Structure 1
Amino acid sequence: MDRKTRTYRKGAVIYRDRMIPRGTSTEHLLEEDGPTDWLHMDPWRVLRIQSEFVEGFDALAELGPAVAVFGSARTKPEDPYYKAAERMGALLAQNGIATITGGGPGIMEAANRGATLNNGVSVGLGIELPHEQGLNEWVNLAMNFRYFFVRKTMFVKYSQGAIVCPGGMGTLDELFELLTLHQTHKVDRTPVVLYGSEYWSGLQDWLRDTVLASGNIDDLSFVMTDDPEEAVNIAASEIYGAPLE
């Protein structure tokens, strides 16, 4: 025996009987004082994530050749690593290559400073943190992200090489993200340079003598140097296919 049921369609979804919503989508949209719990639900977060990707792609799509420079936010201007990072930004700008950093102080500020003082494109991709750092004054193209994984996508997608200066957990996160993508063949072999052998040699030795020797990785997907010029040359080698002037 057929029974008559009330049916309500909401997009591709069909509701019947007791499952029919009490209000329509339009009613909820136009409510003035309705509940705001939806702001903290996963479907809304998906839209926020989508908007960050769209804004990032829109802002950086025409950036051109670029190299990412990573490093500690705690490095002081008098530190030799700060001065080296500033030199890297300058060299990149002089060769028509954009510098991309996390936009914060320390090493990031130094690389952005070198790029800006040499009339280059100086990009800062910041992140929303409880202890707000803010974007350094030497950035001339900036974005601030809510989500680390969206920000890291922008670093990988829009840079053709990376220089990793001494840094902490954030720097290590970026480094191993790149190495993992290399190892799993998710990206082409983007050159990765570790700057500062005194700082990085212990990590390199452990990866080579323990991790690689145990067969847990295929190779060391980076090179190490103490020369800012060499770091830039290697990091930018995929852009022009030849050493920079």
Structure 2
Amino acid sequence: MEQKQRAERRQGQAVVRGSLVPSSTHDQRLLDRQGPSDWVHMDPWRVLRIQAEFVEGFGQLAELPAAITVFGSARTPEGTPEYQMGRRLGRALAESGYAVITGGGPGVMEAANRGAVEVEGAVSVGLGIELPFEQRMNDYVDLGIEFRYFFVRKTMFVKYSRGFIALPGGFGTLDELFEALTLVQTHKVTSFPVVLMGSEFWSGLLDWIKSTLLGTGKIAPQDLDLISVTDDPDEAVRIIVDSDRARSRQREEELEAAAAQTAEPQ
């Protein structure tokens, strides 16, 4: 008789199955107000677990080479044009010397990780997250880290990436996209390119940004320059490389200016 598949969920470094799978995630419990005083007893202890996730992420990723994060739908089937685009992109990034970071799941994330590992010596990273439904780490990840909290995971994406490339995706992709744009717009991160791949997919959103956000003064005209759009993986990589070169030139100029100022007689 065929054995019934048990429920399974990742929880940070652990995997639980069957009756041990809880009815909610750590993020849900963190954001839930259980009662007028329960938070006093529970939330302070959660800080230690959150701190541990930051320490684990920083420790694992501190020596990562220059990296680019690729976002996109977990629901993209293998063999589709979007999957092939992600795979070509991962390979192109790896050939240019970048590590490739994704959310570690299936679909476009798997495609980018897969393209990266096809290049000898490349590094393929997956930063997973605990979800109410199981989503296993794809098989093309060299370094995989599981997180309980979205905000810790987002910090790792930004801290250890030199840019974001977003392929067609859903709410998760949009969340990461607009968070990145907000960080660049407010100068929380600098010299951080944001590239959209799949011009047809993104055209409606871009039209709305131009007509509604810009048209009603919710953003400034220069904010449109924060976004690059292409259908060519090589062009996406070129945008990243050009940004890196500009960043290097800026740092050299700042160091030269600081040295000149120090050398001036007092």
Query: Normalization by structure 1: what TM-score?
Result: 0.80
Q: Of the candidates 124, 129, 132, which is equivalent to residue 130 of structure 1? A: 132
Partner Cα separation in structure 1 for residue 136 and residue 240 of structure 2: 27
Q: Does the Cα contact within 8 Å between 1:163 and 1:235 map onto a contact in 2? A: no
Report 1:19-34 matches (<5 A). none
Name 2:230's counterpart in structure 1. Answer: 225
> Which AA in structure 2 matches 1:72?
S
> Which AA in structure 2 matches 1:47?
L
5+ residue gaps, structure 1: 1-36
Name 2:83's counterpart in structure 1. Answer: 82
* TM-fit CA distance, 1:208: 1.0
* TM-fit CA distance, 1:240: 4.1
Partner Cα separation in structure 2 for residue 235 and residue 73 of structure 1: 24
Q: Does the Cα contact within 8 Å between 1:65 and 1:239 map onto a contact in 2? A: no
Partner Cα separation in structure 2 for residue 237 and residue 174 of structure 1: 22
Q: Does 1:148 align with 2:150?
A: yes
Q: Which string of whole-angstrom CA distances, capped at 9 and with x for unpartnered residues, describes residues 26-74 of structure 1?
A: xxxxxxxxxxx99x81111101111111111111111021111000000
Q: Of the candidates 179, 183, 190, which is equivalent to residue 181 of structure 1? A: 183
Q: Higher Cα Rg: structure 1 or 2? A: 1
Instruction: Return the structure number with greater helix share.
Output: 2
Name 2:8's counterpart in structure 1. Answer: none
> Which AA in structure 2 matches 1:160?
R
Name 1:44's counterpart in structure 2. Answer: 45
Partner Cα separation in structure 2 for residue 86 and residue 102 of structure 1: 15
Partner Cα separation in structure 1 for residue 241 and residue 170 of structure 2: 24
Partner Cα separation in structure 2 for residue 55 and residue 87 of structure 1: 31
Partner Cα separation in structure 2 for residue 233 and residue 132 of structure 1: 36
Q: Does the Cα contact within 8 Å between 1:70 and 1:108 map onto a contact in 2? A: yes
Name 1:216's counterpart in structure 2. Answer: 218
Q: SS where residue 118 of structure 1 aligns?
A: coil
- What is the number of equivalent residue pairs in this alignment? 205
* TM-fit CA distance, 1:78: 1.2
> Which AA in structure 1 matches 2:102?
T
Q: SS where residue 202 of structure 2 aligns?
A: helix
* TM-fit CA distance, 1:213: 2.0
Among the aligned pairs, what percent are the same residue? 64
Partner Cα separation in structure 2 for residue 194 and residue 50 of structure 1: 33
Name 1:159's counterpart in structure 2. Answer: 161
